[in-house]
Structure 1
């Protein structure tokens, strides 16, 4: 069985059409603002920075505020936003030499790669020692409402269902991937953004306008039946509407950051290397493992 999830060629074609038609930037603009805020907390300057695959050139202002020079890698020749890309390439085959970047950022693009662990390894290798990677992607519970109603409606109508919404990585898995890729001081956090729509079809129009229509390799090649879409719209309104009748769509944006290892970075202490006891600092008696206050031993099992 193939380990590939996405038809990357189809994804890039759809992204190109979306950019040519005026890609809506409401989520990207939010992420660009968050990137600027997060970088403002980093008290140093960088040499060469790169924007890795963000659909529009919205990361550049934040990167220019921290770096001497900025390159933009786009995945589509139509780079969007009226700004030509410096490089056209694939996030799964980065065209950067090892240790050539000081800062790398990516906004809402890494969730559409087939080999996210490999992409993170390549990003880490492209960074000079003590270089920083920071980026965000859709993950976790993104579009959970749409996934649920499409599945329910198709099962009702046909007795089965094909994948309609891309799988998204779990927050805990992403932290592990950063560590496996060799990043030092990895940090992962998430923000759930709720966007409200008049109906299901308005949400689907936005997803198509951003090039995010179904590009799964295992997708059905048959168009979704109208009756299934109408039933999905009914279920969405029943399950996920606010009192004013508008529908909620969840986008869980997960931020990742990590540093290329360098000897100057803080290292965790070895177990047993502490020179002072926590009990002394708190001014309380130390209680050994397996003891209760007063010296009683605790057992391995107990009742509630």
Structure 2
């Protein structure tokens, strides 16, 4: 019986381009870094709580160096990014005592397969920790995109995984013990354009294989107006990034 390939939701070339563009944009002192900064702080706190000091670690998708620098205090660290690494293929090195993935699994086509490969790259009792922007995120942006073209359902935003699905995926990948939890990052915006810039800074922009056409000028103005309609009394639209953290032991 032939094995059906996973649906092609995301374009690998667009994923690589988004990461490369984000790395370039991160050179600017005012580039947005709040998602990765919060995720790294959270991962370090979890490692400290479990008193884990892994001798050999793999860090995937880190735009900065904070997590890698922390891990290098106690062991060796291999650091890779998706423009030179394919999460949907087996790892070519390992085993690792700890593997961290910062955000990139949100845009792979074969997420079950990627988790299997990561588990296979762990040493016995090794730990995988994955953080990604999950379901429930960017509700105001989603509403603005719908308002921009109310009579045309163009694909503009990524489907996102929720806690229940993530739990099932870790079980399917064969992790011995696993935990999935969710926590928010809330950020205030005074306009749609700044939000879009922040998403590009952090490689969170559109990476769909078949994205919708560019918004017309009129549609863009409708989107901006719809976004600001949700502002609070101080003129800020508070967007919520729902961060999923997947933790699994081999």
Asked if TM exceeds 0.5, the reply is yes
Q: Which has the higher contact order (CA 8 A, sep 6+)?
A: 2
Which residue pairs with 1:171 in the alignment? 163
2:220 aligned with 1:229: yes
CA distance in 2, matches of 1:6, 1:176: 21
| Structure 1: unaligned runs, 5 residues or longer | 77-87, 261-304
After superposition, residues 93-242 of structure 1 pair within 5 angstroms as 93-97=89-93, 100-155=95-150, 159-220=151-212, 222-238=213-229, 240-242=230-232
Q: What SS does the corresponding residue of 2:89 show, helix, strand or coil?
A: coil
Per-residue deviation, residues 112-150 of structure 1 (Å, max 9, x unmatched): 211111111111010111111112001011112211221
2:231 aligned with 1:257: no
CA contact (8 A) 1:39 1:62 kept: no
RMSD over equivalenced CA pairs, Å: 1.8
> Which has the greater radius of gyration?
1
| Structure 2: unaligned runs, 5 residues or longer | none
2:4 aligned with 1:13: no
2:29 aligned with 1:29: no
CA distance in 1, matches of 2:133, 2:158: 10
Query: Under a length normalisation based on structure 1, what TM-score does the superposition of the two structures give?
Result: 0.75
Q: What SS does the corresponding residue of 1:250 show, helix, strand or coil?
A: strand
CA contact (8 A) 2:97 2:126 kept: yes
CA distance in 1, matches of 2:203, 2:178: 30
Aligned residue pairs, count: 242
In the TM superposition, residue 57 of structure 1 has moved relative to its aligned partner by 2.3
Query: Under a length normalisation based on structure 2, what TM-score does the superposition of the two structures give?
Result: 0.90
CA distance in 2, matches of 1:105, 1:15: 17
Q: What SS does the corresponding residue of 1:46 show, helix, strand or coil?
A: coil
CA contact (8 A) 2:137 2:242 kept: yes
In the TM superposition, residue 61 of structure 1 has moved relative to its aligned partner by 2.9
CA contact (8 A) 1:53 1:106 kept: yes
CA distance in 1, matches of 2:223, 2:46: 38
CA gap 1:223/1:45 in 2 versus in 1, 3 angstroms? closer
In the TM superposition, residue 185 of structure 1 has moved relative to its aligned partner by 1.5
The structure with the largest helix share of the pair is 2
